[in-house]
Chain A
Amino acid sequence: MTSHNSSSPTNPGHGENPTHRADPASPLFGRRSLLRGALAVAGVAALPALSACSSSKSGGGSEASNAVSFGSNAAVPEPKGAYQTLFAAAKKATGLDINVNWVDHNTFQQNITTYLQGNPQDVFNWFAGERMQYFAGQGLVSNVNDVWDKIGGSYTDAMKAQSKGSDGNYYFVPFDYYPWAVFYSKSLWASKGYTAPTTWDEYIALAKKMKADGLIPIAFTDKDGWPAMGTFDYLNMRMNGYEFHINLMRTGQGWNTSKVSAVFDQWRQLIPYYSPGFLGLTWQEGANQILNKQAGMMVLGLDQIGTIFTGSNADDLGFFAFPEIDPANGQDSVEAPIDGFMVAKSPKNAAGATKLLEYLGTAAAQQLWLGSNPADIATASGVDTSKYTKPQTAAISLINSAKHLSQFMDRDTLPSFADPVMLPAIQKFLSSPGEASSILSNIDAQAKTIWATNG
């Protein structure tokens, strides 16, 4: 009986007890049709997949000199559209078909090592500074000296220096960049009669005044972790100078010194003026405090806050250089992260990659890409600046006034040090400012281990 009853589902027509079968029958039917539907979907889905395989294979595999593959980190709609316009123009100018692999920014960045070892595209998005030199040093990218023979004339020496590996070869073609500064709402400042401070004492005095006026003096947020690095970089460059800062970033030596602990002492003076609950706020919330005139000023990059001040608000965005602390250093350094392109170790179409980069290195290409984007500026000289917004024009003069350009902490130091060590260390400092000395000795110990294993 048991065996008969149990084996009946194999043979549905054979069931002799209809009342017994009635109960499971309806869900069974639903499940079956669902499974059948799923199989149909799988079948339908598999067909275009196979045809897609063959079509994209013919695209990527064609060694003809008119196709270049491009690994983009701009899958998000806004820069993606700008890149699509740019690549269409590049096809017109160079005759190259550009096959793009769109990947989102964070995934691209996190997977860069595996990406470069696997099957990378000929040309890909990347950053200047140590981030670039690290992969150049590992031999995972090709040099682009022949591109620079053509485009070299339209770049400043500071820009050239940021595009070279430690062996003196060029590995990077700059495209767009933006400065870090202290941003504010011009209309708010005009109504309150504030003026931009140039020294630390004026900066603190202004913050006090804003607090008395019922504003949040400094919009500061640290949920994301990385925006706080900008404040550290500026404090360090203003107090200890550019050379010290860059050596600290590149070598990882000297974290547990009085010079660095003085930076954290200085930083502690700012904390009372920060947004309430800043450890739980994202930079977007902080930037909205500026936009909504709840907060007075904010240390951030134009590329970030420029996406908040858009449209009619674009020209309301004002900024000033991070104030001077030590007159010996003045305001001579500007943090200006540069984005651009690199070429993979063994591109399928090296000549095409060079040709594409020669085009992307021109002011015309960069201006086309920028379009109405108010958050970045072009790296090549010869751009029609009349199309820039006021903040963009001001950004150019800020950067041109600088003696040194830094790239931001997470681009100037080892990738394995910036986010895993410094990001949580700064968060810990901000939540318990009294423990700076133990935090610094901890950073120092980890830096030693990381640089020892990275040679």
Chain B
Amino acid sequence: MTAATVTGSPTAADAAASAPGRRRRRLRPARAFLHAFLIATCVVWIAPVLYALYTSLRPYADTAKDGYVSVGGHYNLGNYTNAWNEADLPLYFKNSAIITIPALLITLWLASMVAFVVARHSFKFNLLMLMIFTAGNLLPQQAIITPLYKLYITIPLPSWLSDSGHLDDSFFGLILIHVAFQTGFCVFVLSNFMRTVPNEITEAARVDGASEWRQYRQVVLPLCRPALAALATLEFTWIYNDFFWATVLMQTGSNRPITAALNNLTGQFFTDNNLIAAASMIVAIPTLVVFFALQKQFVSGLTLGANKG
């Protein structure tokens, strides 16, 4: 509406005369309100992070004396070095890598294969299969934990895979449950994305004599890179941030991922919130790195599927 009135008066004189006025017009109440709203939303989202950052820079003694909502006292990085050493963060970063990276790669690999079949062929069970995969994803984790745990403690594993001799309390078991739980969502996203890839491409490949495997690996999969990158970002965040599976299915404290290490800084009663704030800041970094490294693909991956229907 605003745009129409501005561009709808086409004489050159008018345009020149209204040039300074145009700026004023932009500051209409609706626009001012929009910006106020955006700024307010931005502040609401960022405030907790900034507050945590601010707290993490202050020693506990100062905040105990003046309260957390205060200015003054000392500011230093002492909490960061303490958190890094006391919580043994390098060990837990390693555990998180052992769990997250294989889980992520296997999930994307399996999901892309299922998605390929569901999207490129019209078998009768396709819809049913997609429904089952998506439905499984909707199931709350807490609802299945008891039977799952019973299964985990009865399934034997060779001792080189698991210290406990069972699926329970092993990295393998944790990776497995992440793969099982995340594959459904990935299949859903990838199959929708693969449907947008024109059929002619695979038809041409088939005419050239490409096998089913080759069509998947060399034709469709490379085209899915934006979607795979987007999923990789999301899945990395989810698996990395998981606390539930990690605490229930892993009993050995020193094998738990980074989220559990944060809890190791919480005492039975006493909690040094400044130290935890600092540790949380450190722990958030890998997610940010992955997001910024993949963000271009992330955004195009989300929109590519939308406009190519």
Query: Does B73 belong to the interface (CB within 8 Å)?
Result: no
Q: Closest residue of chain B to A48, judged by CB?
A: B94
Q: How far is the CB of A7 from chain B (nearest CB, A)?
A: 6
A422 to B279, CA, bound (A): 33
Q: Are B266 and A106 in contact (CB under 8 A)?
A: yes
Question: B266 to chain A: which residues have CB within 8 Å?
Answer: 76, 104-106
Please report which residues of chain A, range 281-295, place their CB below 8 angstroms from some CB of chain B when the two chains form the complex. 283-285, 288, 291-292
The residue on A at minimum CB distance from B146 is A114
Q: Knowing A102-B264, A118-B169 touch, does A49 contact B201 (C-beta < 8 A)?
A: no
**Are B94 and A102 in contact, CB atoms less than 8 angstroms apart?**
no
B225 touches A307 (CB 8 A): no
- In the bound complex, residues from chain A placing their C-beta under 8 Å from that of B98 are 42, 45-46, 49
DSSP majority for the B interface? helix
Residue B247 at the chain A interface, CB threshold 8 Å: yes
Min CB–CB distance B232 → chain A (angstroms):
9
A30-B293 contact given A101-B254, A104-B260, CB 8 Å threshold: yes
B271–A104 contact, CB under 8 A? no
**Please, what's the 1-or-0 string for B237-260, where 1 marks a CB less than 8 Å from any CB in chain A?**
000000000011001111010001
Given contacts A75-B264, A107-B247, A307-B269, contact A10 B219 (CB under 8 A): yes
Are B97 and A2 closer than 8 Å at their CB atoms? no
* 8 Å CB contact of B294 from A9, A31, A291: A31
Check: B149 CB closer than 8 A to any chain A CB.
yes
Interface residues of B in 195-236 (CB under 8 A from A): 197-198, 200-201, 204-205, 218-219, 222-223, 225, 229
- Is residue A199 within 8 Å, beta carbon to beta carbon, of the partner chain? no
Q: Are A117 and B153 in contact (CB under 8 A)?
A: yes
A57–B101 CB distance below 8 A = no
- Say yes or no: A292-B65 contact (C-beta < 8 A), given A34-B293, A56-B163, A107-B260: yes
Say how far B143's CB is from chain A's closest CB, in angstroms.
Answer: 16
| A291–B64 touching, CB < 8 Å | yes
A3 near B201: Cβ-Cβ < 8 Å = yes
Interface string of A179-209 (1 = CB under 8 A from B): 0000000000000000000000000000000
In this complex, how many residues of chain B approach chain A with their Cβ under 8 Å: the count is: 56
Given A41-B101, A104-B266, does the pair A49, B200 have CB atoms closer than 8 Å?
A: no
Chain B residues with CB below 8 A from A292, complex form: 65
Which chain A residue has the least Cβ–Cβ distance from B203? Answer: A3
Chain A residue at minimal CB-CB distance from B87 = A77
Whole-angstrom distance between the Cβ of B55 and the nearest chain A Cβ: 14
Do the beta carbons of B164 and A118 come within 8 Å of each other? yes
* Known A56-B163, A73-B268, A304-B269; contact A101-B253, beta-carbon cutoff 8 A: yes
Contact B267 A114 (CB under 8 A): no
Tell which of A34, A46, A103, A288 touches B253, judged by Cβ atoms closer than 8 Å: A103
Is residue A17 contacting chain B, with contact meaning CB distance below 8 A?
no
Q: Which of A94-130 contact B (CB under 8 A)?
A: 101-107, 110-111, 114-115, 117-120
The answer to whether B191 has its CB under 8 Å from any CB of chain A is: no
Q: What does the 1/0 interface line of A29-67 toward B look like (CB < 8 Å)? A: 011001000110110011011100110110011000000
Min CB distance B102 to A, Å, is: 7
A53-B160, A107-B263, A119-B166 given as contacts; is B270 within 8 A of A284 (CB)? yes
In the assembled complex, B297 has its CB within 8 A of some CB on chain A? yes
Expressed in whole angstroms, the Cα–Cα distance for A308 and B229 within the complex equals: 48
User: Which of A10, A50, A101 touches B222 (beta carbons < 8 Å)?
Assistant: A10
Residues of B within 8 A of A214 (CB): none
Tell me whether A304 and B270 are in contact in the complex, defined as CB-CB below 8 angstroms, given that A45-B97, A49-B94 are known contacts. yes
Inter-subunit contact B251/A7 (CB<8 Å) = no
Q: Complex: how many Å from CA A237 to CA B101?
A: 55
A19 proximity list for chain B (CB < 8 A): none
Q: Which residues of A contact B116 (CB under 8 A)?
A: none
Residues of chain A from 77 to 96 with CB closer than 8 A to chain B in the complex? 77-79
CB distance from A327 to the nearest CB of B (A): 33
Which residues of chain B are within 8 angstroms of A57 by Cβ–Cβ distance? 159, 163
Those of B255-295 within 8 Å (CB) of chain A: 256, 260, 263-271, 290, 293-294
Q: Does B193 contact A (CB under 8 A)?
A: no
A27 proximal to B (CB < 8 A): yes
CB distance from A69 to the nearest CB of B (A): 10
Pairwise interchain contact A76-B268, C-beta atoms closer than 8 A = yes
Residue among B164, B219, B225, B271 making CB contact with A119, cutoff 8 Å: B164
10 A-B residue pairs with Cβ-Cβ distance under 8 Å, sorted by A, are A2-B201, A6-B223, A27-B297, A31-B294, A34-B294, A48-B94, A61-B159, A104-B264, A114-B149, A115-B251
With contacts A2-B200, A34-B294 known, what are 13 further pairs, Cβ within 8 A?
A2-B198, A3-B205, A9-B225, A31-B229, A49-B171, A53-B162, A78-B270, A103-B256, A117-B149, A118-B169, A119-B169, A292-B65, A304-B269
